[in-house]
Amino acid sequence: MNLPNINEARKRTKEKVNVYYDKYKINDKLKSLGKNKKYTILTYGCQMNVHDSENMSGIMEELGYTKEDNFEKADVIILNTCAIRENAHNKVTGILGRIKKLREDNPNIITVFAGCMAQEEGIANMLKSKYKWVDIVMGTHNLYSLPSLLENAYKDKKQNIEVYSIEGDIIECLPVKRDSKYKAWVNIQYGCDKFCSYCIVPYTRGKQRSRLPKDIIEEVKKLKEEGYLEVTLLGQNVNAYGKDLEENYTMANLLEDVALTGIDRVRFVTSHPWDFSDDMVNVIAKYDNIMPYIHLPLQSGSDRILKKMNRRYTNSEYRELFNKLRKAMPECAITTDIIVGFPNETKEDFEETLKIYNDLKYDLAYTFIYSKREGTPASIMEDSISLEEKEERLQRLNELVNKYAREANEKYLGKVVKVLIEGPSDKNNKVMGYTETMKLVNISADESYIGKIVDVKITEVKTWSLEGELV
């Protein structure tokens, strides 16, 4: 048993990051562990969490399990949890109740509790005392040990908690079963060292560490050979990519090298405004296959709150970067994340957020009410703002988000844009895909176009999507 520990999780040392190519190994006996058995993975988190699920799917298939969409029919249920806000917690406790019921009929179901929530001290303790029937609790650092944890679970019915609060290594060569045949997630960086005062991620994912450039480029080349059209480079602060590498190699270098593989579309998330270099701006503007779409979390428009958040930029520094991007790439779509109701956010602070939003007119924003995360510095800050007030602010902000989302979409009416068609749309006889700027388009076309990048004329505009026809 290994329990998480927040004080360990907080530590950052100068220790070298190890890269392992052989941590994940399975023998022939394990390859039939899942014979005639089915697995479901329920995924609750961000893109990194989604990609971890793809790795776990890859592992489960190598063990001989087959995928089952309905968790009520699965022999192994894996919860890949997220800890970013309270509502992520609530969803998971709800599902645990339903699994407990299923186990009354079938005690052989194996439950695996994985992901960021498992990295939280309080959660691990709760599982240990209140949910003893959960077979395996594992965190974000040891995906490679899933086979041995499952093997043990069949032998020994006792709960096994294996969560490590470590800075973390880089584990290469995990199997992967991707959800899409056209778009692929590619990790370029793990962890986070920014320690924004409200955020749990630096504690659940360990220190910021960059994958080696050669391993990333090799993965992208292989994806291209397999027919993938788009890669999204993943990290919590991709702009800081390379800062921890021995060689002098930056995010701008990586973007250029990935673009030069010739893959049709390159995307990247998330960009913290802090490390966005001019070199990066130039490279993004230079290559046609680096998509003109940037997600640039603002969090708040108030300098006072930004400081308390430990975001390391001011309102005017943010604006300067935003305008630089707009100038270099006038067609570029820019989206953001905003937290309302940070501890003691005043009306004036919130007005600053509305003001910058009105000035910058984002393409879209993901907006959240601040959620207190145990162990973070913000969790002990005094907060006298009522939830009701916070909800009202969120609603006011969302009205702006909708207004400008629609305005941004209206610019597309009558234009011809490139769309990667991904699959059937919810609507009859239509397919759907995304523009280079990440706008969702529904298109009247048959399914033979799926997996192709086509020219589409936009014929109708809605707040959240566009309608178009092939040209």
Site residues, ligand SAH (CB under 6 A): 84-85, 198-199, 236-237, 270, 272, 297, 299, 337, 339, 368, 370-371, 373
Contact positions with ligand F3S (CB under 6 A) in 172-231: 200-201, 204-205
**Alpha-carbon gap, residue 128 to 160, rounded angstroms:** 9
Among 4, 34, 45, 341, binds ligand F3S (CB under 6 A): 45
User: CA of 164: how far to CAs of 3, 61, 141, 378, in Å?
Assistant: 7, 25, 7, 24
- Locate 309 and state its tokens: 């958040």
Tell me if 82 contacts ligand F3S by CB under 6 A: yes
Picked from ligand SF4, ligand F3S, ligand SAH, none, the partner binding residue 368 (CB below 5 to 8 A depending on kind) is ligand SAH
Q: Which is nearer to ligand F3S, 236 or 300 (CB)?
A: 236
* Contacts (CB under 6 A) with ligand SF4, residues 179-208: 192, 194-196, 199, 201-202
Least separation in angstroms between CB 144 and ligand F3S: 18
Residues 6+ apart with CB under 8 A from 375: 6, 10, 120, 121, 200, 203
Return all residues near 433 (Cβ < 8 A) that are at least 6 apart: 419, 420, 421, 422, 440, 441, 443
Report the candidate in 333, 332, 339, 334 with the shortest Cα–Cα distance to residue 318.
Answer: 334
Closest CB to ligand F3S among 196 and 201? 201
Separation CA 231–CA 55 (nearest Å) = 16
Of the residues 33, 41, 48, 134, which one makes contact with ligand F3S according to CB under 6 A:
48
Cβ at position 19, least distance to ligand F3S in Å: 21
Site for ligand F3S in 93-152 (CB under 6 A): 115-116
Give me the amino acid identity at 419: V
Distance CA 193, CA 313 (A): 16
Q: Assess contact for 453 and 420: CB atoms under 8 A.
A: yes
Choose the one of ligand SAH, ligand SF4, ligand F3S, none that binds residue 85, judging by a C-beta under 5 to 8 angstroms depending on kind. Answer: ligand SAH
For tokens 């650092």, name the residue. Answer: 141
Contact 49, 143 (CB under 8 A): no
Q: Which stretch binds ligand F3S (CB under 6 A): 45-53, 106-114, 303-311, 359-367?
A: 45-53
Peptide bond into 270 cis (omega under 30): yes
Among ligand SAH, ligand SF4, ligand F3S, none, partner that 114 touches (CB below 5 to 8 angstroms by kind): none
83 binds ligand F3S (CB under 6 A): yes
Surface-to-core class of residue 100, CB atoms within 10 Å of its CB (0-12 exposed, 13-18 middle, 19+ buried):
middle
List C-alpha distances in Å: 51 to 44, 107, 180. Answer: 11, 30, 11
Stretch that binds ligand F3S, among 43-51, 131-139, 217-225, 441-449 (CB under 6 A): 43-51
- Write down the least CB distance from residue 41 to ligand SF4, Å: 23
Nearest CB to ligand F3S, comparing residues 78 and 116:
116
Work out how close the CB of 328 gets to ligand F3S at its nearest, in angstroms, rounded to a whole number.
29
Identity of residue 71: F
- Kindly tell me which of 40 and 239 has the beta carbon lying closer to ligand SF4: 239
Least Cα distance to 61 among 30, 20, 86 occurs for: 30
Site string for ligand SF4, 319-338 (x = CB under 6 A): --------------------
DSSP code string of 265-302: EEEEE---GGG--HHHHHHHHH-TTB-SEEE---B-S-
| DSSP string of 292-356, one letter each residue | SEEE---B-S-HHHHHHHT----HHHHHHHHHHHHHH-TT-EEEEEEEE--TT--HHHHHHHHHH
Count residues near ligand SF4 (CB under 6 A): 10
Rank residues 200 and 291 by Cβ distance to ligand SAH and give the closer one.
200
| Site residue total, ligand F3S (CB under 6 A) | 13
Q: Which residue, 284 or 296, has its beta carbon nearer to ligand F3S?
A: 296
Identify which of residues 83 and 223 has a Cβ nearer to ligand SAH in the complex.
83
Task: Find the binder of ligand SF4 among 237, 250, 409, 442 (CB under 6 A).
Answer: 237
Rounded to the nearest whole angstrom, what is the least distance from the CB of residue 339 to ligand SAH in the complex? 5
432 CB neighbour count, 10 Å cutoff: 19
Residue whose beta carbon is closest to ligand F3S: 45
Q: By CB under 6 A, tell whether 390 contacts ligand SF4.
A: no
Minimum CB distance to ligand SAH smaller for 80 or for 270: 270
Strand 440-444 to 170-171 pairing: unpaired
Q: CB within 8 A of 320, min separation 6: which ones?
A: none
Tell me whether residue 118 is exposed, middle or buried, using C-beta atoms within 10 angstroms of its C-beta: 0 to 12, 13 to 18, 19 or more: buried
| 373 interface partner picked from ligand SF4, ligand SAH, ligand F3S, none, CB below 5 to 8 A per type | ligand SAH
Q: Which residues form the interface with ligand SF4 (CB under 6 A)?
A: 192, 194-196, 199, 201-202, 236-237, 272
- Residues at the interface with ligand F3S (CB under 6 A): 45-46, 48-49, 82-84, 115-116, 200-201, 204-205
